[in-house]
Structure 1
Amino acid sequence: MADTPLLSIRNLSVSFATSRGPFRAVDGVDLDVSSGELVAIVGESGSGKSVAMLAVMGLLPWTATVTADRLAFDGHDMLALSPRERRRIIGRDLAMIFQEPMSSLNPCFTVGFQIGEALKTHLGLDRAERRVRSIELLREVGIPEPERRLKAFPHQLSGGMSQRVMIAMALACRPKLIIADEPTTALDVTIQAQILDLLVRLQRDNGVGLVLITHDMGVVAETAQRVCVHYAGQQVEMQETAGLFRDPHHPYTAALLAALPERASGRILPSIPGVVPGLADRPKGCLFSPRCRFATERCRTVPPPRSGPELGLALCHTPLVGGVPQRRTQAA
């Protein structure tokens, strides 16, 4: 890992204005990603995973307020950049693969036009050069007959093919970091495996950093070097992948892993009771306390402190060691 991370985030928070007051969708997230590193972000829907990365990309609506102690990419302070300066970076050095390819691709323009738009804007290629590079990109992501596919509209492509086009667009300017937001959610199982294999291969071959937002812990185990676990907008644990699967320190992480079918010991698959809290039902103390079997009265009333790196930076009053809660006596 490089000494200076490619992406460095400290205390990132995102709030949205609502009729009931501000709602904090992301609360105090830290993240470092180096060149050539694959970091996974996991957690249930509503955990703020996508919102945090959209904040990095500058793609949140005007109702969002983004604050951070540091939000730096490749030496640039992303919060201090003007919109024009940010547009020079987004799409060229920092790219994103979105969750729904059919809604992310513009239905009014061909595949070739949409790939070529980034090449023209960021690299200044002429029409002939854009065509050559677009064909090369489609071939790189495994699309057959790339010359013919350039003339296709998004509705003429399958879900898997559309996702490959999205990956080609993200790779167009040879970015230094790619954020992949649940890139296989809308695809069937066989296509999911192909897309993930493609992403990981391209990431390794090109030496780019990759942030993978996913629900699939099996994919995380096979591909990621480090894992960030998000819950209700907070980053509750961060560990190297092997350590997290061997000895999770936050009760939420342990519950996620216990719900994996391959870890289930009985006939009934374990589940986590309840739902992720929203605007109106956020607990006073630990946000996971209503669903946590280790919760104490202190957990329900006092926000938890963050543990040290030896416990995976777990945001918990009772971090687990070997599956056993360690009661912390220091003041929060």
Structure 2
Amino acid sequence: MPLLEIRNLSVDFATSSGQFRAVDGIDLSVDKGELLAIVGESGSGKSVSMLAMMGLLPWTATITADVMSFDGHDLRALGPRQRRRIVGKDMAMIFQEPMSSLNPCFTTGFQIKEALRLHLGLDRKARHRRAVELFEMVGIPAPEDRLKVFPHQMSGGMNQRVMIAMAIACGPKLLIADEPTTALDVTIQAQILDLLTGLQRDSGMALILITHDMGVVAETAERVSVQYAGQKVEEQKVADLFETPHHPYTAALLAALPERATSRHLPTIPGVVPGQFDRPRGCLFSPRCKFADDRCKAEPPAPAGSGLGLARCHYPLNARSEVSA
């Protein structure tokens, strides 16, 4: 039984001009100890789908799902109090932009100890010991001193480490890392990724890594789910996806990697992710796809079989070789 299982998750936001579907029929499953990557451009619904699962979206969001279970709990049936016992303890998230995720009015030590008090009920001395241990675990130097400082007194990389320490403080079974290396320099990015993957291996927790960086996916993940305009368009094991992508969008993302460039200029994907007012009637990727025909523009495709990476495409790439194999 998967640790996390989501079936047909959709999220609609109420706007002044009507409903906007940000997540459209997403399926997702994560096993204990697994590292899953979710990739896609900005606007693909990666963060929104995870925030919906955790119950952290505003009242303007309408969330529907056939199945949304975590560790045996039906998340759809949980009340706010029951959900708070799980979120932050068994299920935790590292949010984007650590400088805006941490409260500037409180020290880093107060913020991490507050989580320990609420979820684990530790006394003051135990909270302090655990906070120092966590700061050491994530590589923060002079942890005793760092517990006393405010977020603005530390660098972005240090604040990101504080966020990671807060997320793993209660020993979660599932950790969601939402663009954990955004706005960090390359050296710090590598350190943060090594830290996350090391913690995942050592503790046995499941890790969902949300990113738009295919290079990060290649180095860290075991399985990858590709999202586009709120839909999942492909899912494969990482090695298989990099070798034989089946959706044109996945192939275009991989072709844009610098190491795969065959000319002086990097390939690009024309156009932008469709928004509320320009969503195509057929395949959502059809306006940007060089393979699209009239059928693609008029008829929404259904996901292909698992042998074709569940590609949401009328004409999956490499289909002939995959079927013959």
Q: What is the TM-score when the length of structure 2 is the normalising length?
A: 0.98
Deviations 1:28-68 (A, max 9, x none): 00111011100000000000000000011111000000000
Paired residues of 2:308 and 2:319 also in contact (CA < 8 A): no
> Aligned with 1:194: secondary structure?
helix
Paired residues of 2:8 and 2:65 also in contact (CA < 8 A): yes
Aligned length: 323
Aligned to 1:29: 26
Quick one: which amino acid aligns to residue 8 of structure 1?
E
Give 1:324 deviation, angstroms.
8.8
**1:316 pairs with 2:316:** no
Give 1:323 deviation, angstroms.
9.6
Whole-Å separation in 2 of the counterparts to 1:305 and 1:323:
18
Query: Could you list the runs of 5+ residues in structure 1 that have no partner in the other structure?
Result: 327-332
Aligned to 1:191: 188
**1:132 pairs with 2:129:** yes
Q: For structure 1, which segment, 213-222 or 314-323, has the greater mean C-alpha deviation from structure 2 after superposition?
A: 314-323
Give 1:218 deviation, angstroms.
1.0
> Aligned with 2:58: secondary structure?
coil
Q: For structure 1, which segment, 215-224 or 246-255, has the greater mean C-alpha deviation from structure 2 after superposition?
A: 215-224
Deviations 1:219-239 (A, max 9, x none): 101111100000000000000
Give 1:322 deviation, angstroms.
7.0
Relative to structure 1, is the Cα distance of residues 220 and 265 closer, same or farther in structure 2, using a 3 angstrom cutoff?
A: same
> Aligned with 2:171: secondary structure?
coil
Quick one: which amino acid aligns to residue 124 of structure 2?
R
Deviations 1:167-221 (A, max 9, x none): 0000100000000000011111111111011011011111000000011111101
Q: What is the TM-score when the length of structure 1 is the normalising length?
A: 0.96
Whole-Å separation in 1 of the counterparts to 2:232 and 2:302:
12
Paired residues of 1:318 and 1:325 also in contact (CA < 8 A): no
Aligned to 1:208: 205
Aligned to 1:240: 237
> Aligned with 1:66: secondary structure?
strand
Quick one: which amino acid aligns to residue 244 of structure 1?
L
Aligned to 1:254: 251
Quick one: which amino acid aligns to residue 138 of structure 1?
F
Residue in structure 1 matching 2:264, options 253, 267, 281:
267
Give 1:247 deviation, angstroms.
0.2
Give 1:22 deviation, angstroms.
0.5
Relative to structure 1, is the Cα distance of residues 262 and 299 closer, same or farther in structure 2, using a 3 angstrom cutoff?
A: same
Whole-Å separation in 1 of the counterparts to 2:320 and 2:98:
40
**Correspondences of 1:84-123 after superposition (within 5 Å):** 84-123=81-120
Whole-Å separation in 2 of the counterparts to 1:324 and 1:102:
48
Aligned to 2:52: 55
> Aligned with 1:50: secondary structure?
helix
Query: Could you list the runs of 5+ residues in structure 2 that have no partner in the other structure?
Result: none
Quick one: which amino acid aligns to residue 265 of structure 1?
T
Give 1:325 deviation, angstroms.
11
**1:282 pairs with 2:296:** no
Quick one: which amino acid aligns to residue 280 of structure 1?
F
Relative to structure 1, is the Cα distance of residues 325 and 19 closer, same or farther in structure 2, using a 3 angstrom cutoff?
A: farther
> Aligned with 2:166: secondary structure?
helix
Paired residues of 2:307 and 2:322 also in contact (CA < 8 A): no
Whole-Å separation in 1 of the counterparts to 2:301 and 2:116:
47
Paired residues of 2:235 and 2:311 also in contact (CA < 8 A): yes
Whole-Å separation in 1 of the counterparts to 2:245 and 2:126:
50
Paired residues of 1:251 and 1:292 also in contact (CA < 8 A): yes
Aligned to 1:142: 139
Quick one: which amino acid aligns to residue 52 of structure 1?
S
Aligned to 1:6: 3
Q: Identity percentage over the alignment? A: 73
Quick one: which amino acid aligns to residue 188 of structure 2?
I
Whole-Å separation in 2 of the counterparts to 1:305 and 1:92:
37
Give 1:19 deviation, angstroms.
1.4
Whole-Å separation in 2 of the counterparts to 1:205 and 1:215:
26
Quick one: which amino acid aligns to residue 279 of structure 1?
Q
Quick one: which amino acid aligns to residue 270 of structure 2?
P
Whole-Å separation in 2 of the counterparts to 1:127 and 1:275:
51
Aligned to 1:297: 294
Whole-Å separation in 2 of the counterparts to 1:323 and 1:90:
44
Aligned to 1:162: 159
> Aligned with 1:248: secondary structure?
coil
Quick one: which amino acid aligns to residue 96 of structure 1?
M
Aligned to 2:76: 79
